Amino acid sequence: MSKSLIIVESPAKAKTIKKYLSSDFSVEASSGHLIDLPSSKLGVDIENNFNPDYVVIRGKGKYLDKLKKAAKKADNVYLASDPDREGEAIAWHIANELDIWDRSHRVLFHEITKNAVQKSIENPTDLSKDRFEAQQARRVLDRLVGYQVSPLLWRKVKKGLSAGRVQSVALRIVVEREREIEAFKAREYWSIESELKRPQDEPSESFVASLVRFEGEKTEIANEEQSNHILDSIRNEEFIISSVDRKDKKRNALPPFITSTLQQEASRKIRYGTKKTMSIAQKLYEGKELGAEGPVGLITYMRTDSVRVSNEALDDVRAYVKNNYGNEYLPDKPNTFKVKKSAQDAHEAIRPTFVDKVPESIKEFLSEEEYKLYKLIWQRFVASQMTPIIYDQTTVEVDAGKAKFRATGSIIKFAGFSAVYLEGKEEEEEAKEKDEMRKLPDVSTGDMLDLINLEGKQHFTQPPPRFTESSLVKELEEKGIGRPSTYASIISTIQDREYVLREKNRLSPTVLGRTVNDLLIQGFPEIMDVQFTAEMEEKLDDVEDGNINWVELLKSFYTGFSDRLDNAQESMKGVETNIACDSCSAPMIIKWGRGGEFLSCSKYPECKNAKAFEYDKEGKIVIVERAAPQIREDLPCDKCSAPMVIKQSRRGEFLACSRYPDCKNAKPFEYDPDGNIKVLEKEEPVIREDIKCEKCGKPMAERKGRYGKFVGCTGYPKCRNIKNIDENGNIVASRPGGKGKKAEKKESEEETQAN
C-alpha cells in the first residue's frame, strides 16, 4: 500500500491530526514559514518584474531537511498548512523546495476533527497559484515600503524605526483621534430632570423624567440662566401623566464570531489584547489534550471574515438548545446572518467544533486563559441560534404647564439568548444601556404625580474617546484596512515600536509616534491615505480571484512610489524647531537616541552639533547645557600621564583621559565611604589550559559578560570562539540566567511564524 505524508504548520496540529489517520499516513510539521525574503537586504529584483529572492529562513534548514527526507519515502504528499494566503504560501514554497509537484495535493482543514480531516484527505485540491501570488504581492509590497522608507526615518529621527504599508495607516488613525481630542472645545449645556412618584407610592419607588420640550419646542438649554428661567416657570405646576406607551421590543441574537468581533469581544469582556487572543485561539484550533480522548481541535479556523455556519453544526447546536433550554428558546428556523460584501467568505465563522463539549466539562484540561476564550466562543455560538430577548418597554410622558417630560424604562420579559450570553459594550455604550434598563411604576394616562425634586444639571460635551484595541480593530475593519489575519500584528507592531502606548486599556500616540506619522505624511501621502490603503486591499483580493496580475499591480504602485522615494529626502524635513544651530546657524531638529529626544543640526552629517533639551511647563523647548567634565589632576592617566576626567555614560560615571580621542584610556571607578575615588582595575582573565579552542587549538580564558561567566579564545579577535560556563567553571549548554536576548528573539520569531 502506498505511503502518504501530510505536512502541517505546527507540531500541536500534527499530533491532533495523526490520531485520526491510519498508519499509512505520516504527519510532519514545518513549524511555520520555511522560505522568505532575506532579512539582510531588499530581496526584490525591481527591474526584473519584482522577482523575489527567496531564501531558507535562518534556523529552519533542519525542518526543511526533515521534510525532504520524509517526502522521499512518500508516494503522495498532502500540504495541509492553514487555509489562508499565508498557509498557501507555506504550501507553495514547500512543494517547490521538495520538488513534489507531480505528487503533491492541497488539503484545507477548517476544523481539526476526525470527520473534517478525513473528508479533506478524501477530497484534495490543487495548490492555488492566484492565492499564492496574492500573498506574494502583499509580501513584496510590504518589503518595498518597509525596506525603502524605514532608512529615511533612521536618518531623520532615530535608527531602528520602521514604516509599514498598513501599520503606518493604523498609526495615523490613532494620531488623528488624539489630535481631535486635543482640539476639542467643550460646549456647555444643561438638562432638567424631575423626580416623580405616585401619591400612594413610597419615595423609594420614584422615577426620573427628563425635560424634552418647553413651550412646544425641543429643549436646548445653553446656560444656567436659561435653566433657571424654565425651572421657575414650571416649579409650581401640576405634573400629570399625558401618555403611556407600552410595547414589546425584540433584540435578536448576534452572529457567531469572526476574527474582528472575537478580538473586540475578548478585549471588552476578558481584557485580552488582540495578539494574545489570536495566540490562544491558535492553540484551541490546533488541538488540546483532553485526557483519555487525546488531542482534540476545539474550535474552527480563527482567521475568517464570514458568519457562515455548516448545516451539520447548525443541526447540532439546535439540538443542544432544545434539549438544554426548551422549545421556547429555539427559533422555528435556524437564524441566518448576512455576510458582508467585502468578506472573502473562505471559511466558516469561529465556533466550537463540538457543541456538546461544554466549557465546564473540559475546564480541567485547559489553562485559565484558554478556558475563558473557549467559553466566550462557545457561548456566542450557542446564543446565535436562540430566540430573541423580549423587553417590555414603557415610555411615559408627563405634562407640567408649558413643559413636557419623558421617562423610558425596559424590563426583560423573556430572556431568550441572554440565558447563555450577552455582548460586552464599550464603556460609553454600557453606561447608556444601563440608563435605559430600569423599571417604571404601573401608571395610567391622567394620573397626578407628586414632585419630589426638580433641578437643572450642568454638562459639557465630551471629546471622542481614545481607541481601545477592540474599537481600533472595529475602525480598521470598517475602513477596509488590513484583513482578519493582520489585525493583531498591526496593533501589536505599533505598540512594540513604541509609537502607541496602551494605558488603562486605551491607546494614545507617543511623541515618537506623532513624529513618525507626520514625517510619513510629508513624504508619502498616498501610502498614508486610508482610502488608498483600503483600495490596495481590494486589489490584493482581486489578485487572489484571478482578476489582476500581481506584477501589474506592483508596477502600478511602484511608479508613483519610486518618485516619492526620490523626493522624500527633501520633503521629509524632520521635526524642525525655531532654534538655530550655534555652529552653522541651520535650524535644529528633534531626533531620538538611546537616552531619548535631543536636538541635532539639520545639516548632519556635515554639522554634527547636538544639544540636550527639555520641555518647560508651556511645552516650549529649553536647551540643557551639559556640565563640563570634572578634571581630576590627582588622577593621572596610566598611559599618557594627562589628567583623567569624570564623564557620564548611560551606565553611570567613569574616568576617561582628558586627551580623548588621542588617548582612549578609560577606567571604571567607585567612591569609598569617605567620598574618595577608587579606580577599579580590570581583572586579568584566568587562562584555562584544560579547555582548548576546537577552532584554533589555543587555550580558552575565563571572562565575565553581561549574561555571566564564559570562556573565550585567547586568540581573540582573530578567533571569536566562546563557550558558556557555570559558576564552577564547567562548560554548560546555556549561560546562567537565560539564553540571551538574541536567542529569545529568534525563538519568538520562530513561534510567530509557526502560528
For the chain, report the end-to-end CA distance as a whole number of angstroms: 34
301 in catalytic set? yes
pLDDT of residue 233: 94
Confidence of residue 227 (pLDDT cuts 50, 70, 90): very high
- On whether both 666 and 691 belong to a single domain, the answer is no
- On whether both 247 and 277 belong to a single domain, the answer is no
User: Is 132 part of a structural domain of the chain?
Assistant: no
- On whether both 671 and 587 belong to a single domain, the answer is no
Looking at per-residue pLDDT, the higher value among 20 and 345 belongs to 20
Q: What is the pTM of this model?
A: 0.77
* Domain range enclosing 449: 188-252+389-460
- On whether both 178 and 231 belong to a single domain, the answer is no
- On whether both 69 and 44 belong to a single domain, the answer is yes
Looking at per-residue pLDDT, the higher value among 159 and 659 belongs to 659
Cis status of the peptide bond prior to 661, with omega within 30 of 0: yes
- Please give the average per-residue pLDDT across 133-157, as a whole number: 92
108-126 tens-digit pLDDT: 999 999 999 999 999 999 9
- On whether both 377 and 274 belong to a single domain, the answer is yes
What integer best gives the mean pLDDT of the chain? 90
pLDDT of residue 735: 43
- 569 near 582, Cβ under 8 Å? no
Q: Which of 20, 63, 78, 301 is catalytic?
A: 301
444-502 tens-digit pLDDT: 999 999 999 999 999 999 999 999 999 999 999 999 998 888 899 999 999 999 999 99
Q: Where are the alpha helices (DSSP H) in 414-549?
A: 427-436, 469-479, 487-496, 511-523, 530-544
User: Is 329 part of a structural domain of the chain?
Assistant: yes
CA 340 and chain centroid, separation: 23
Looking at per-residue pLDDT, the higher value among 512 and 617 belongs to 512
- On whether both 265 and 379 belong to a single domain, the answer is yes
User: Is 593 part of a structural domain of the chain?
Assistant: yes
pLDDT of residue 435: 63
CA–CA separation, 340 vs 345, rounded Å? Answer: 9
- On whether both 210 and 355 belong to a single domain, the answer is no
Structural domains counted in the chain: 7
CA–CA separation, 56 vs 105, rounded Å? Answer: 22
- Residue finishing a domain among 127, 149, 172: 127
- Residue finishing a domain among 556, 571, 586: 571
- On whether both 289 and 399 belong to a single domain, the answer is no
SS (H, E, C) 314-350: HHHHHHHHHHHHCHHHCCCCCCCCCCCCCCCCCCCCE
- Residue finishing a domain among 552, 571, 590: 571
